[in-house]
């Protein structure tokens, strides 16, 4: 499972990186085009779609590298066993919360597909982006499950 999660993380991170570069290129192109009096139509919509996809695909990478916010003032003072128990409880809560989030995102994405909801300017369907975010959240859930059954890595 560890190899599969590592592969998924690398794949998601690579796609998120490409999308982030696309955001930079689009922003730069739109700035230059505006200076010439011909702004790129739908830039705001595209940036929103790309930003959501980058966010969803980056969640598991951020978590696996422990590059997220972590408030340790209180917990670092506890004994190791108490810290481990707190991490276990937190991980179980995260599994529940993010599983529910992923499920709701899939339901929303499928509903958006069913009603054929599209963006206002460019008429781009919303559902693929929602499903990409759902996938990213689901991979995060798998990371939490893996952590729960294999331990939490290096203890401080």
In a domain, 135, yes or no: yes
pLDDT of residue 8: 92
156 belongs to a structural domain: no
With respect to residue 56, please indicate whether it lies within any of the assigned structural domains: yes
How many structural domains comprise the chain?
A: 1
Which structural domain range is residue 44 located in? 2-150
**130 falls within a domain:** yes
Q: Is residue 108 part of a domain?
A: yes
Residue 138 domain-assigned (yes or no): yes
| Residue 118 bridge partners (DSSP) | 125
- Cβ-based neighbours of 99, under 8 Å, separated by 6 or more: 141
The CB-based long-range contact list for 44-52 (8 Å cut-off, 24+ gap) reads 44/121, 45/119, 45/120, 45/121, 45/122, 45/124, 46/122, 46/124, 47/23, 49/119, 49/124, 49/129, 50/19, 50/20, 50/22, 50/23, 50/26, 51/23, 52/129, 52/130, 52/132, 52/133
How far apart, in whole angstroms, are the C-alpha atoms of residue 148 and residue 108? 28
End-to-end Cα separation, the chain, in angstroms: 25
pLDDT at site 156: 39
Q: Is position 155 within any domain? A: no
Which residues sit opposite 125 in a β-bridge?
118
Sequential pLDDT tens for the chain (156 residues): 889 988 999 999 999 999 999 999 999 999 999 999 999 999 999 999 999 999 999 998 888 887 666 666 777 788 889 888 888 898 999 999 999 999 999 999 999 999 999 999 999 999 999 999 999 999 999 999 998 888 765 443
d(CA 145, CA 17): 25
Can you give the pLDDT at residue 129?
A: 97
- What whole-number distance in Å separates Cα of residue 51 and Cα of residue 41? 17
Q: SS3 of 118, please?
A: strand
Query: Does a structural domain hold residue 123?
Result: yes
């Amino acid at each position: 499972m560890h190899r599969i999660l590592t592969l998924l993380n690398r794949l998601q991170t690579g796609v998120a990186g490409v999308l982030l570069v696309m955001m930079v290129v689009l922003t730069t192109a739109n700035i230059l085009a505006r200076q010439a009096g011909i702004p790129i139509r739908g830039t705001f919509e595209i940036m929103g779609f790309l930003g959501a996809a980058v966010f969803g695909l980056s969640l598991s990478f951020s978590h696996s590298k422990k590059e997220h916010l972590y408030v340790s003032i209180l917990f670092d003072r506890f004994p190791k066993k108490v810290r481990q128990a707190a991490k276990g409880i937190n991980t179980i809560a995260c599994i529940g919360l993010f599983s529910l989030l992923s499920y709701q995102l899939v339901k929303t994405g499928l509903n958006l597909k069913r009603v054929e909801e599209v963006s206002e300017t460019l008429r781009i369907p919303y559902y693929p982006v929602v499903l990409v975010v759902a996938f990213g959240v689901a991979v995060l859930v798998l990371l939490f499950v893996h952590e729960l059954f294999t331990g939490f890595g290096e203890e401080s």
